[in-house]
Amino acid sequence: MKYVSAFDLKRNYESMKDEIKEALDRVLESQRFILGEEVEKFEKEVSSYLEVAHAVGCGSGTDALFLSLMSLDIKEGDEVITTPYTFFATASSIAKLGAKPVFVDIDPLTYNIDTDKVVEYITPRTKAVIVVHLFGLMTPVEKLEPLLKDKGIHLIEDCAQSFGAWRKIDGKIRRCGTIGTFGCFSFYPTKNLGGYGDGGLVTTNLSSLAERIKRLRAHGCSGEYIHEELGMNSRLDAIQAAVLRCRLRHVDDWNRKRRIIAERYRLLFNVYKISEFVKAPSEDEGSYHVYHQYVVRCERRDDLSKYLDENGIGTRVYYPLPLHLQPVFKYLDYRRGDFPEAEKLSQDSLALPMYPELTPDEQEYVVKTIAKFYR
């Protein structure tokens, strides 16, 4: 029996071991471990890659969201619209500031927030909308951005799973994290651009907000031991920045390989005649999906996942319980049935193995095993 893991970091490390060690040695020789030159260089390099004016490193993707909301003075009584089908941090960052997360159902094809429904949930208390570019596919933010701008509502892009993704807007390629007031990135090790620990990034085209994020990430400090406001301790480590500088040079190639793997899955689903049981993820026109996860919709999800595990194939369920049904958000008074598309997806979605080093033979074994299950 073969073994195919859901994700394999070791193969990636083997491919660039010497490059990483050289970067780590550079930091160790400098003995500068918090912020400093490595972080500054990474911020410049990543802002150039994304084509955004400012990039500010921080401690995690969760902190990136929290810092963004803090800098907009989101507070108790405010409302922030977002999706119920995403990682917990998107909504918890809102709630931790005392604001109210307001959920909007998803598009069943893209899994992202249904942009056509957002306007129905806007109230005088709405201060921001957080869209999540889930699993590597950008939300069509061009539908939302002009509307929100007219209403004085901030657009925040949660880009934790979508580094390198883009959409063609008005004939131009626009990368995720460059359209809204803020883009929020995670560099958790399994991400398309992942570090070797926690790390995050906030992007913006507004200089005043970039400066405020820099203050807030360091206890609201504007000078040595001078604190203008209450901030937090969320500084990017130099070691993580050095690793990310190395990995940034390869991320486009890795994303290209992810797209090849995604297309191979689609072809294999047809070859093994399982398309009626397993639905491949969608990629809407004008989008460049980077497949952080390869999430299918399938019949008898839990039974299939168990069968694949018994045959040495790792899978994951993202996410088994939508945010509006989480116990911690009971006070929001949402009920089962409020967001039917998100609830359906939580019951039939399954992430198959996906990483740049996944081989064609391993992919065929995965699909062949799925076919055996349904036969």
Output the pLDDT for position 48: 98
* Tokens representing residue 71 in the block: 């800098």
Residue 332 pLDDT greater than 90, yes or no:
yes
- For residues 238 and 265, state if they share a domain: no
Alpha-carbon distance 149 to 284, whole Å? Answer: 24
Give yes or no: residues 164 and 272 share one domain: no
Same domain, 145 and 294: no
Q: Domain of 344: which CATH number?
A: 3.90.1150.10
Return d(Cα 329, Cα 130) in angstroms, integer.
Answer: 17
Structural domain includes residue 1: no
Structure-model confidence comparison of residues 346 and 222, the more confident one: 346
3 within some domain: no
Q: How far apart are CA 49 and CA 67, in angstroms?
A: 22
Residue 38 structural domain: 9-104+111-248
Determine the pLDDT at residue 251. Answer: 98
> Which residue, of 219, 248, 277, is where some domain finishes?
248
In the prediction, which pLDDT does 222 show? Answer: 84
Which residues are CB-contacts of 83 (< 8 A; sequence separation ≥ 6)?
90, 103, 104, 106, 112, 113, 130, 131, 132, 134, 323, 342
Q: What's the whole-number average pLDDT of the chain? A: 96
Residue 285 has pLDDT above 90, yes or no: no
Using CB atoms within 10 A of its CB, is residue 226 exposed (0-12), middle (13-18) or buried (19+)? exposed
Is residue 1 predicted with pLDDT exceeding 80?
Answer: no
- State residue 337's pLDDT score: 97
Q: Are residues 206 and 291 in the same domain?
A: no
Read off the pLDDT band of 295 (50, 70, 90).
very high
**What's the rounded Cα separation, in Å, for the pair 81 and 62?**
17
What pTM was estimated for this model as a whole?
0.96
> Which of 149, 191, 257, 330 is flagged as catalytic?
191
Residue 76 lies in a domain: yes
- The two counts, helices (H) then strands (E), for the chain are 13, 15
Number of domains the chain is built from: 2
Of 248, 265, 288, the one marking the end of a domain is 248
Per-residue model confidence (pLDDT) at position 350: 98
- What is the chain's Cα-based Rg? 21
* Active site annotation includes 191: yes
pLDDT bin (cut points 50, 70, 90) of residue 35 is confident
Quick one: what percent of the chain has pLDDT higher than 70? 100
Q: Helix, strand, coil: what percent of the chain each, to 5?
A: 45, 20, 40
369 and 340 both lie in a single domain? yes
pLDDT at 224: 82
pLDDT of res. 223: 82
What average pLDDT score do residues 30-58 get?
A: 96
For residues 233 and 363, membership in a common domain is answered with no
Q: What is the pLDDT of residues 222-272, one digit of tens each?
A: 888 889 899 999 999 999 999 999 999 999 999 999 999 999 999 999 999
Q: Please check whether residue 2 lies inside any domain of the structure.
A: no
